[in-house]
Structure 1
Amino acid sequence: MVARSDRSPSRASRELAMTLEYYREASELTKKQFADKLGISTQFLHSLLDGKGNPSLDTLEEMATKLNLEFSPLFRAPTTSAPVAKRKYRTAESPAEPPQRASNSRSRTPAKRQPPASE
């Protein structure tokens, strides 16, 4: 988790606040009515609109459902069998080879010098 020393709202918090305010105004509901519709307290709605609230994933999903919005696909299992990068893990039985370092022009061992060409 990233610590915020300035306590400014994260980008996600600001975007959530803008989205909630947009749907509240579009539905022409007061903040109290909108909070009731979402199933949260008015105080919690105010903290979300200020970018200070920290809703759980369950709360976000419930609010999205009540607004007839799709919850982020990031939190859903894929419906297709997309290729997944496989990572080799080391086990006691078969340790994986360590990755090879890319050659670097600034190697620690000096390059062999070629003798001057004779004329």
Structure 2
Amino acid sequence: MAQSAPLPSRPPLKSIATSLRRERGRAGLSLSQVAEQAGISKSTLSQLETGNGNPSLETLWALCVALNVPFSQLLDPPRPQTQVIRSGEGAAVPAAQAEYRATLLASSPPGARRDIYRVDAEPGTVHASDPHMPGVVEHVLLAEGKARVGTALEPVELHPGDYIAYPADLPHIFEALAPRTRAVLISEHN
């Protein structure tokens, strides 16, 4: 059996601090209100929001319940509008008993709906899309071929295994650059 990598000794405090402030602001709650609902002191929450302290898993779960957010949202730092993850990049978690690993590409925000599509494209024409409804984000994972994908002003060349997320409420494109280009497209509606 392969040895596991050592567990980190401290949680990602910067990401947690940023996420706590963001989610508390979205919920419109004060420090006192969130601390009371989570069953922790106001000073503890204040320290966590400034990136200090060493929160336990239980404390973070209690804060998630108080803020009504999934646990991953506290650990997942805010992303720029366009996000690209190249093949082989990202935080992969291996299985203990099999040659298998999962890489989180994007967590679903609360209240989102996702539609999943397989895209088959050939070179020669650019598929240009007008802006969709406000807040729509598209996620593309290229399976085969090569393509330019993303907002019309800043498309990115993708190769098999590459991932991109971009705001689809702006003009955007999908251009196959190789025969038999295939991708998975997920349209996320908030």
TM-score (norm 1): 0.48
Relative contact order, higher structure (CA 8 A, sep 6+): 2
Greater helix content: 1
Find the structure with the greater CA-based Rg.
Answer: 1
